Structure 1
Amino acid sequence: MNPPRVADLLAEPILAAARVVAGSAGLEREVADVRWWVGEPVSVQDHLVVCGPESVTPSYRLDALVRRTGDAGAAGLLVVGATGRPLLSSIRLADRLEIPVLWLDDAEPVVLVQELTPRVRAPDLVRARTVERLLRQLAPRHTGQDIVAAAEGVLEAPLALVTSDGTNLLGPPIELDDALHLDRPVAQRGRAILVHPVLDPDGNRPAAWLACRVERAAESRLGELAAGLATTEPFLRAWLTAQRAHADRDLLFRARLLSEVLAGRDSVSRDVVEGAVSVGWQLTDWHVGLHLSCDDRTVGDQRTGVPERLRAALVAHGITLTEAVDRGDGWALWSSTEAEPGTADARALLRAVRLVTAALPREWGLIAGIGRPHRGPGGLAETLAEARDAAHLASSHDFRPAVEHSDELGVARLLATWQQSEVTRAFAETALAPLRSNESLLATLRAYLESGGSVVLVAEALGVHRNTVTARLQQVRERLGVDLDDPSQRLALQVACRSII
């Protein structure tokens, strides 16, 4: 292991308050040992020399001390507890000799030397002591917040628990380094960060990452922090396991509760009502249901994150969904309000869901259906049934994300009948022939018609710039010779596009 440099020791917590007053050009000198200066002509080659105020009082004595330690080959000089400030002559001398002079106003010299000496001489011993202290502190901790706080106290460094996408779970925000390979479940060091995987309780994949920001440190300090992260990881994994077990029980309870509400409708039992109140469901309110599913089966154990991402994004549009319950074929979500939602509310919800699903990862293949407002427990069952029917219709589209509203089901079924007729297919072959050789133009036209003529939604759905969409639509107009602003022509083209799927 390479010996620490003076600059590395300055990054140690015990020297956090120290400042460099002279000789900064020598901060990269290696430190082989730490020695207390007693004025004797002893060997201090490559040593960090520590002295008290008596060695630099009066101020001119610092000149002689800098020259003597410099001639003896010292790595640096640390002055502890001096009340004055070095003279300009002392600063210039230290700068010329490139001897770093560190100034620490308030510290106990004996403790300082005792702390620094093993960090230079025996870093393995320091690491072992740190792990021992950490184990004693972590043993009685049971919550993630307490575990991270205890580890921070022992390691004297900011820690955070973050997900692979950078979402902060615990501790202060720490930005992950783009040089890290978070697909590999191994401890890693980035440009200014250490991370250790907190493994998923059910496998070897990282459930999260324990991260520590390190701007500058000796190899021994980095080893100490890495050992501390590895020691803390099992405690966080146990906490995550307990949290997951509690969440699984809670999800199972909510799923069972919803099943009883759907089965009982307006004649739900008192126990069901009490259970609903305990989880914050207002069964007597007006409800608008939403059924969400995704084509991507690789989501796997991240399934719970899909509806939560949707719910969080909808909040930005002023829409709060009360609950999200996994029903096997998708998630049942709904909002509840005391007053009956109006037509404008339904349009706002439909637009918000389309915007939000378009902004989420396209590879998820999101499908959403929205029900009409209904009141009471029976109304909740009714709106969720309508939402599931609308989602089923949305799944028949060849584009993703696909969102349908139950108010449009009648028209959609009529359109489905038309698009299956031989007459419509013949029309489609003729009308869309100029686009059949250019799949990007055809895809843009489909997305434009299905999104209600929104260039923004088309751009998000196709993953291209809005200017690109505008340019493609202009080519479509020119090739087809149609007016896309004409509702009749848009309807005809939409039916034609669906019939050739």
Structure 2
Amino acid sequence: MTQTPPTVADLLAHPVRFGLTLLAGPGAGRPIEKVTAVSTLPGVVHAAEGSLVVILEPPGSALTGYEADVAIRHAADRGLVALVLTGPVRLPVTSQHLAKRAQVPVLGSETAQDGAELLLRIDRYARGGASDALARAAAAIEAAQNAADAASDDPVAAVLAAAGDALGCTVDLLEYAPTAPNSPGAVVIGDQAVAEVVAGTHDEAAHVALPAVAAVVSRVRQNELNRRFAATMTRAELIVQIALAERAQLPQLSAQAQRAGLPVQQTHVVAWVRVEAAEGAPAGLFQQRQLLAALELAALQALDGRPGMWHVASFSGDLIVVFTDPVAGAHLYGRVRQEMQALLATLAERGDALVTVGMGTPQAGPDGIRQSAAEARVAADSAAVRGRRGTIADTDASGLRRILADLYSSPLSRGLLAELLAPLDALGPERSWIGVVTLSAFLDSQGSPTKTGRALHLHANAVSYRLRWITEALDADLDDPDVRFALQMACRVRLLGA
């Protein structure tokens, strides 16, 4: 397809790329058929018709009206498209009037430019094609990088504006994850595409520049998030350590938390967020990691600015949300639950995750973080086991889950209960897991193979077969109430830890 030759108006529309302003004459003019250069103003007399003439040696501030008038008259007589002065100059008033009458545009530069370089840029632009596309793309990338490095209240907007000026089109940021995460304009934070840079034109220059501009925006966004959430994320890492630590480690971790600005002696409410890929979504390890990172960022942004101190951390494929408040009270639980309900709705809108939230009760001090986290985890796991995924599960009023949580948080209790299941562990990881799951379901079903089979999607005969080798391995009498109770607690704590 034949490209329409540009005009003076097109040059003026790219101030970042050419740095030209209109000194006198019309701002449009005829199409530029040729770009040529002369060393001085009098050399204009030798330029061919239809040319835009670049004066390589910029005149000084003492430009005389006579020189300018003669050059403009020659330009009009020879049918030149425009004259370009390569330095900042004040055109005499008489020359301005003459250029207007002769319909000869006179362009000047706001700053002194290399005449040869300016000539090359204009010539590439006038010729079009691959060389112009590459030049515009290079100019857009350089402008975006410079805008990112400059101090600005809104660096992303500055990057987009600079790139758009260089490309000659609008460049916008669409605040959604692109359908194709590997699209040229994808803005990636960590491993997750969160937005997309798009250009208002589909020419080659935009196609070449978009990936680099998107990379600059990604870097700016990542830096903004690092500055915004660095302290919060550091404290969140300590919260995870406190939630999983032995009691003997709490004094040291509490001291670190205090130095990091986390008031561990206050009251905490923990919500445990189980994250699963939505039905039909990719469920590989890499995709799961990407999903968890995206949800962690979404949760941080959703809770940022909410009243109180909020922290979000990831652990073993799940998220831990902690609210800290100096005032203890029953209202804390309801307040946090309300915020988690809103967060659950926000995360569900994404459509790529199934999120189940377990709520812990308000607890004070570093040991309270451990207790509330254990309660929240038990509640989330219980909801998942009972088929209540995608909901908020409260800590039960009976206190059983809290008892399980306390047992799980105690190394001594875990050790004693693990001894009961040691014979199954001796059979190997896979057989041990089958045994624990089957025994737990059997005891929860009050010793009914039929109900156990329905829970595990097995035939009752298969359940009976499993129970024979399980009881033989454990050498346990399941008719003894104490034995049943101890094994049921051991199985539940084992499944909780899993």
Q: TM-score range by the shorter chain?
A: 0.5 to 0.7
1:303 alignment partner, SS class? helix
1:332 alignment partner, SS class? strand
User: 2-side partners of 1:199 and 1:287: how far apart?
Assistant: 33
AA at the equivalent of 1:326: F
* 2:47 aligned residue (38, 43, 46): 43
2:307 alignment partner, SS class? coil
Range that drifts further, 62-71 or 339-348: 62-71
Q: In percent, how many aligned pairs have the same letter?
A: 18
Partner of 1:318: 307
How many residue pairs are counted as aligned between the two chains?
358
In the TM superposition, residue 127 of structure 1 has moved relative to its aligned partner by 9.6
User: 1-side partners of 2:344 and 2:175: how far apart?
Assistant: 30
Q: Which runs of 5+ in 2 are unaligned?
A: 161-170, 282-286, 402-498
- Do the aligned partners of residues 336 and 100 (structure 1) sit closer, same or farther apart at CA in structure 2, a change above 3 Å counting? same
Partner of 1:293: 274
The within-5 A match list for 1:127-146 is: none
Q: Does 1:65 align with 2:71?
A: yes
AA at the equivalent of 2:373: L
Partner of 2:294: 305
In the TM superposition, residue 357 of structure 1 has moved relative to its aligned partner by 2.5
- Do the aligned partners of residues 208 and 345 (structure 1) sit closer, same or farther apart at CA in structure 2, a change above 3 Å counting? closer
* 1:374 aligned residue (334, 341, 363): 363
Q: Does 1:176 align with 2:177?
A: no
Partner of 1:258: 240
- Deviations 1:26-57 (CA, angstroms, capped at 9, x unpaired): 2x723632413432421234432234558996
Partner of 2:98: 90
In the TM superposition, residue 200 of structure 1 has moved relative to its aligned partner by 9.0
Partner of 2:19: 16
- Do the aligned partners of residues 184 and 68 (structure 1) sit closer, same or farther apart at CA in structure 2, a change above 3 Å counting? farther
- Do the aligned partners of residues 331 and 277 (structure 1) sit closer, same or farther apart at CA in structure 2, a change above 3 Å counting? same
User: 1-side partners of 2:239 and 2:306: how far apart?
Assistant: 29
AA at the equivalent of 1:342: G
Partner of 2:332: 345
User: 2-side partners of 1:25 and 1:256: how far apart?
Assistant: 64
Partner of 1:334: 322
User: 2-side partners of 1:130 and 1:62: how far apart?
Assistant: 32
Partner of 1:165: none
Partner of 2:121: 119
> Which of 1 and 2 has greater Rg?
2
2:112 alignment partner, SS class? coil
AA at the equivalent of 2:344: T
Q: Which runs of 5+ in 1 are unaligned?
A: 135-147, 161-167, 189-194, 413-501
User: 2-side partners of 1:106 and 1:14: how far apart?
Assistant: 13
User: 2-side partners of 1:280 and 1:324: how far apart?
Assistant: 16
Q: Does 1:76 align with 2:82?
A: yes
The within-5 A match list for 1:146-295 is: 152=142, 158=147, 172=158, 174=160, 176=172, 182-184=178-180, 195=185, 207=193, 222=205, 226=208, 230=212, 258=240, 261-264=243-246, 266-268=247-249, 271-273=252-254, 276=257, 280-295=261-276
- Do the aligned partners of residues 126 and 23 (structure 1) sit closer, same or farther apart at CA in structure 2, a change above 3 Å counting? closer
User: 2-side partners of 1:353 and 1:72: how far apart?
Assistant: 76
Residue 307 of structure 1 contacts residue 331 of structure 1 at CA under 8 Å; is this kept in 2?
yes
In the TM superposition, residue 263 of structure 1 has moved relative to its aligned partner by 4.5
User: 2-side partners of 1:128 and 1:214: how far apart?
Assistant: 17
* 2:354 aligned residue (365, 385, 405): 365
Partner of 1:104: 109
User: 1-side partners of 2:177 and 2:293: how far apart?
Assistant: 24
Q: Does 1:389 align with 2:395?
A: no
Partner of 2:34: 32
- Do the aligned partners of residues 6 and 83 (structure 1) sit closer, same or farther apart at CA in structure 2, a change above 3 Å counting? closer
Residue 271 of structure 2 contacts residue 320 of structure 2 at CA under 8 Å; is this kept in 1?
yes
- Deviations 1:237-293 (CA, angstroms, capped at 9, x unpaired): 9x99xx99xx9xx999977983564351x4325554455456554443321111112
- Deviations 1:100-128 (CA, angstroms, capped at 9, x unpaired): 332335425xx2x1221222456889999
User: 1-side partners of 2:235 and 2:97: how far apart?
Assistant: 76
- Do the aligned partners of residues 186 and 393 (structure 1) sit closer, same or farther apart at CA in structure 2, a change above 3 Å counting? closer
AA at the equivalent of 1:305: A
In the TM superposition, residue 316 of structure 1 has moved relative to its aligned partner by 3.9
- Do the aligned partners of residues 72 and 361 (structure 1) sit closer, same or farther apart at CA in structure 2, a change above 3 Å counting? farther
Residue 50 of structure 1 contacts residue 77 of structure 1 at CA under 8 Å; is this kept in 2?
yes
Residue 273 of structure 1 contacts residue 283 of structure 1 at CA under 8 Å; is this kept in 2?
yes
Residue 31 of structure 1 contacts residue 120 of structure 1 at CA under 8 Å; is this kept in 2?
no
- Do the aligned partners of residues 233 and 317 (structure 1) sit closer, same or farther apart at CA in structure 2, a change above 3 Å counting? closer
Residue 238 of structure 2 contacts residue 257 of structure 2 at CA under 8 Å; is this kept in 1?
no
User: 1-side partners of 2:155 and 2:359: how far apart?
Assistant: 31
Residue 23 of structure 2 contacts residue 91 of structure 2 at CA under 8 Å; is this kept in 1?
no
1:382 alignment partner, SS class? helix
In the TM superposition, residue 313 of structure 1 has moved relative to its aligned partner by 1.8
- Do the aligned partners of residues 156 and 12 (structure 1) sit closer, same or farther apart at CA in structure 2, a change above 3 Å counting? farther
Residue 255 of structure 1 contacts residue 327 of structure 1 at CA under 8 Å; is this kept in 2?
no
In the TM superposition, residue 383 of structure 1 has moved relative to its aligned partner by 0.6
- Do the aligned partners of residues 57 and 122 (structure 1) sit closer, same or farther apart at CA in structure 2, a change above 3 Å counting? closer
User: 2-side partners of 1:357 and 1:90: how far apart?
Assistant: 71
The within-5 A match list for 1:406-445 is: 406=395
In the TM superposition, residue 375 of structure 1 has moved relative to its aligned partner by 1.8
In the TM superposition, residue 399 of structure 1 has moved relative to its aligned partner by 8.2
- Do the aligned partners of residues 169 and 360 (structure 1) sit closer, same or farther apart at CA in structure 2, a change above 3 Å counting? farther
In the TM superposition, residue 340 of structure 1 has moved relative to its aligned partner by 3.8
AA at the equivalent of 1:16: G
Residue 296 of structure 2 contacts residue 312 of structure 2 at CA under 8 Å; is this kept in 1?
no
